[in-house]
Amino acid sequence: MKFHQIMLAVTLTASAFAGTATTETRSPPANPPVMGGDWFFGVSYGRLSEVGGTIGDGFSIGEDADSSDFDFDGFDFDMYSLHLGRNFGDGFYGFNTTAYLEVAYLDGDTDVSFDGDPQIAELLGDLNADIDIVPVTVNLGMERNLIGGLGLYLGAGLGYAFTDSDVLDVSDTDGGFYAQASAGLVYNFTEKFEMFGGARWLYLDSLDFGDSSLELDDEFAWEIGARVNF
């Protein structure tokens, strides 16, 4: 057998083995699951006025004085809040959905007048009442674009409110079930920054201090705020 015939046979044999060889391919590892969109942090300021209360027998002064002689002008509250949450993207009729934890601080005060005996009124001097409320709530929110950077937002939350009152030198702490809902307009200046403004509905179980109480039942506040996405 000639040399070139031997080389041809070796080449054909090698080609046959190469044709039967198999190559193993590996798929890239799957990406870990992602729980929606960006995180966000926000702050807000609001105000609600003329919240009513009742005076009980615990504020009687002197043997003949009646507690009905004390009149509240109505509590005015400044409301500050911080919230941290997660944006889950579009998922409900075109609304962007969110979930967030909010801690708020309501600082309320009012003037108290005494309409009884003028001599007692002079001795009492200036009267006031202060109530601090700290609600902690878990909330769900929705936001939808209307036109340009302008959008609509809705939100609702449930939680617990811690309270501290100082009324006519009588101090007390209390707390109770707290609920809220909000609605308004939001403007997205960039993908990372937005501002909002609207109304907030508040509900707090009867707040008791001494023999008196305060109701945050169907109260409304206005608010403005800002949010940063990261």
Q: Residue 85's Cα: distance from chain center in Å?
A: 9
In a domain, 32, yes or no: no
In a domain, 13, yes or no: no
b vs e for 144-167, b when ≥16 Cβ sit within 10 Å of the residue's Cβ? eeeeeeebbbebebebebebebeb
Residue 198: what residue type? Answer: G
- pLDDT tops 80 at residue 121: no
User: With contact defined as beta carbons under 8 Å apart, do 173 and 208 qualify?
Assistant: no
Q: Which of 65-74, 102-111, 117-126, 147-156 has the highest mean pLDDT?
A: 147-156
In a domain, 149, yes or no: yes
Interval 156-178: pLDDT, tens: 999 999 988 887 677 888 888 99
pTM of the model: 0.73
Segments forming the whole domain that contains residue 176 = 37-229
Helical segments of 2-161, H only: 3-20, 118-124
- What total of structural domains would you count in the chain? 1
CATH number at residue 184: 2.40.160.20
- pLDDT tops 90 at residue 60: no
User: pLDDT band at 51, cuts 50/70/90?
Assistant: confident
pLDDT for position 135: 96
pLDDT for position 89: 82
